[in-house]
Every structure is written in C-alpha cells, then in structure tokens.
Amino acid sequence: MISMVFDLRAKFIVALCVSTMTFAIYDILLFISVIFPLFIYLALQEQWIFALKRVVAAGVLLTLFLILQNMGIINNVYAVVCLLILRLIPLSMVLGPLFDENPADVIGALEKLRFPRPLFMPITFMLRFYPTVKKDFSTIVNALKIRGILSIRKPLLTLEYTLVPILIRSSLVADRLSAAAETRGISRPGLHTTIREMTFKTRDYVLVFFSTLLTIIYFLIEKGVDILW
C-alpha cells in the first residue's frame, strides 16, 4: 500500500471531527463503527500496528460490555469503565500519532489555522511533555520491578511508589520545558516561521472532505434520518 503523508492541518481537522462525534453520538455501536474508517486512515500512513492494537482493544472491550449488559449488571463499575474506554479509543487513534509530530511543526500548523495563542500554547507543551513523562514512567516501573516493590497484592503501596516519583519528575520536566520554550522565543509576538513547507495537496482536501462528510452522515444516522433515498 502506498504511504501517504497528510498535512498537519488536515490531521487536526480529522481530530476535530472525531472529537465532535465523541461527545455528540450516544449510540455506542454506531460510534464504535468510526474505528473502521480510522483504521484505513492510519493504514494509509503505515501505522498498521498502532491501528490494529486499537481495533483489537475495541473488540475485546465491546464484547465484555455486551456480556455485562446481557447479564443485567450494566450499572456495574466494570461495564461503565469499559464504556468510557470504548468512547476514548477512536479519539486516541487520531490524537496518538500527533504526539510523534515535531512540536515546531505543530505550532506552524496551528498558526496557519488561526488558532488563538492561549489555546495552542498548552497543546505545544503537552506534545513535548508527554514523551518525556512516558519514558520516565517506564523507567520508574522497571526500577520497582527490579527492587521487587511492584506488587498487585499491595495496590495502594504500589500506587504511592509510582505516583510520587512521577509527580516530582513531572514538576521538574515542566519547569525545564517552559524555560527551553521561552529561550526559543515561543512567547514572542508576531507570526513564527517554520522550515517545513506546509501546503494543502489533493489528498489533504480529499481527507478533509470525507472526514466532514462522514461526520455529517453519522449525525444524520444518530438523529434517525433516513439517508438512503
């Protein structure tokens, strides 16, 4: 399959469409079907493994949710957790790859989309912050395993030994990232430049068109409108 590189602005529009459906579509089976076009979207970008993991996770969670529902314990806390995670999976499929993007390119794309600076500044810090914290969390978990502290039998103690180092590291990382961003002039007024050329190509227009069209179709189905004439 041919690999496609979409413009960051097109990816943000897709994320906006999926985010809107996440909060507006209540039928869980209808909403979960969004995963299939998203799988194609990720496959076109050669992110098969990432997409396949989400599809498998959605299948397992949906099966578990339906089993709990048929058992008459839909109000069970486990069923509620399954439902919440299910609704977040499509969102993770469009937002997850954005964390791999260069934050400088993200700033350039958001500025071209005319995003207010108070909105995209936190997004930029989050994109820089997430990979660092993820790596620190993995290091902490490995250290706990080596010392034999990580144990399911003592969940509260394990949570304490994991959470406290993460909070301390997160505070230090946040300060360093803020200082680095200020040094690079992130708060400087005016339009910032980028060395990456950002141009909407035919595939980007097609992606935006189909994303918007599918969003409208899902809304019509949710409202019970017969879209088959």
Cα distance between residue 63 and residue 66, in whole Å: 5
Give the CA angle between residues 197, 203, 208 to the nearest 5°: 100
Structure tokens at 161: 């030994």
Q: What are phi and psi of 111, to 5 degrees?
A: -70, -35
CA-only gyration radius of the chain, Å:
21
Half-sphere exposure of 164 (CA within 13 A, CB side): 7
Question: For every one of its 229 residues, what pLDDT tens digit does the chain have, with 9 covering 90 and above?
Answer: 455 678 888 888 898 899 888 888 888 888 888 999 999 999 888 888 888 998 999 888 888 888 877 676 555 667 777 888 888 899 888 887 777 666 667 777 777 777 776 666 676 666 666 677 777 778 888 887 787 777 667 667 777 777 788 888 777 777 777 777 667 666 666 666 666 667 788 888 999 999 999 999 988 888 876 554 4
Identity of the amino acid at 47: Q
- Residue spans of the domains in the chain: they are 1-99+198-229, 103-195
Question: 207: Cβ–Cβ under 8 A, 6 or more apart, which residues?
Answer: 6, 10, 13, 14, 41
Largest CA distance in the chain: 66
What pLDDT score does 229 carry?
44
